[in-house]
Amino acid sequence: MSGFQSVSCVRIKKDAGPGAIKGRGTGMNPANRFEAERLEAFDDGWDHEDETSRPQTTLIRDTTRSIIARNDSPDLAFNTSVNPYRGCEHGCIYCFARPSHAYLGFSAGLDFETKIVFKPDAAKLLEKELSRSGYKPGVIVLGSNTDPYQPVERTLSLTRSVLEVLERFNNPVGIVTKSAGVARDKDILARMAAHGLAKVHISITTLDPALARAMEPRAASPARRLAAISELAEAGIPVGVMASPMIPGLNDAEMEQILEEAAKAGATSAYTTMLRLPHELGALFTDWLQKYLPERATHVLSLIRQSRAGELNDSQFHTRFAGTGPYAAMMAQRFTRAVRRLGLDKERYRLDASKFLIPGRNPASMQMSLF
């Protein structure tokens, strides 16, 4: 998967200047929008950063007693999800989940990628919730908010423990990740997929390593994500590609090539969304553009506003993922044509919730309990 040549012509500024931190998506740490007191950072002209002063990742235990999150959004194809982690060390500057860190009392900026909240009892809590008499079997999505295979998963293995529970209960799972680490769990996923119980979606925003390194500093390289698609597909696990988010004037020229390379690697479906910049994310992304792509910043922001009714964000259902206006319509048309040409628009695999079974209970006793 290393033979492709990216069509990207983006020139990332190597020296992003004061405030940029190597290996982090942002050096900004804006105040929590729910806090009354606000602290303003300023540049005193001295460069203090060295290897020892770079912000380190801190793990924080989550003591909440529930694990399944539910939503009623008409824009989403699922209504239940599990997030073993809150915050994400990948540090993607465009991540729509950044503002959610404010609910934990943290900043959407540097806090989001350095203060990682983890749920040590995720598997036990999930087993308890799946065993409840009122639980209605359905697809549970891992990665709906933050990545279930971010770096800390290598040591904590919370996502794997969740998959082990879902496999025991025959509960279908959909995974969204931009990490090649998902291939570690191909043993579980292959067994589940053989019974219609698992599907993976891998997010690829660009094929340009330099752009990826700047936008997604601790995520897997584009080549490794394509290799993961191949590895999962070869194991019999259905894989889709998410060409998301598409950022007008930045990575949108790569959309067709991303889809082509993913299809070659074994992807059988595809999705895309337009960049969203809710709450603090607008200022964070604007600052990133001005640091890494100053000559392109004004153009990119203008195109985003053209696709968001003059704003940097649109929170309305039905339009928030796709955008509006001529530019968004053109992007949607390009995507439709590309997936049709590549055969990525045909649903070949549907997850099956009918096989759900609480371990230790036979189907007959479960049926009797319904009456």
Write the pLDDT tens digit of every residue in 76-91: 677 899 999 999 999 9
**Which of 194, 134, 215, 122 shows the shortest CA–CA distance to 163?**
122
* Interval 18-33 mean pLDDT: 88
For the chain, state the CA radius of gyration.
21
Q: In a 10 Å sphere around its CB, with 0-12 CB exposed, 13-18 middle and 19+ buried, how is residue 241 labelled?
A: buried
Provide the H-helix boundaries in 157-200: 158-169, 186-193
Model pLDDT, residue 3: 65
Q: In a 10 Å sphere around its CB, with 0-12 CB exposed, 13-18 middle and 19+ buried, how is residue 164 labelled?
A: middle
How far apart, in whole angstroms, are the C-alpha atoms of residue 310 and residue 203?
27
**Which of 323, 295, 208, 217 shows the shortest CA–CA distance to 255?**
208
Instruction: Say yes or no to pLDDT of 287 above 60.
Output: yes
Query: Picking from 73-87, 197-211, 282-296, which range would have the lowest pLDDT averaged per residue?
Result: 73-87
Q: In the CATH scheme, what architecture does the domain 58-345 have?
A: Alpha-Beta Horseshoe (3.80)
Instruction: Say yes or no to pLDDT of 263 above 70.
Output: yes
**Which of 176, 215, 154 shows the shortest CA–CA distance to 76?**
176
Torsion over CA: 243, 247, 250, 256 (sign): positive
Instruction: Say yes or no to pLDDT of 40 above 50.
Output: no
Per-residue confidence band for 135, with pLDDT thresholds at 50, 70 and 90:
very high
Model pLDDT, residue 371: 31
Instruction: Say yes or no to pLDDT of 41 above 60.
Output: no
Where are the strands (E) in the chain, listed by range?
A: 58-61, 68-70, 80-82, 85-86, 115-118, 140-142, 173-177, 198-203, 239-246, 269-274
Task: Give SS3 for 246.
Answer: strand
Model pLDDT, residue 62: 94
Instruction: Say yes or no to pLDDT of 319 above 50.
Output: yes
Instruction: Say yes or no to pLDDT of 120 above 50.
Output: yes
Model pLDDT, residue 42: 43
Instruction: Say yes or no to pLDDT of 47 above 60.
Output: no
Model pLDDT, residue 321: 85
Instruction: Say yes or no to pLDDT of 53 above 70.
Output: no
For the stretch 206-223, pLDDT in tens is 999 999 999 999 999 999
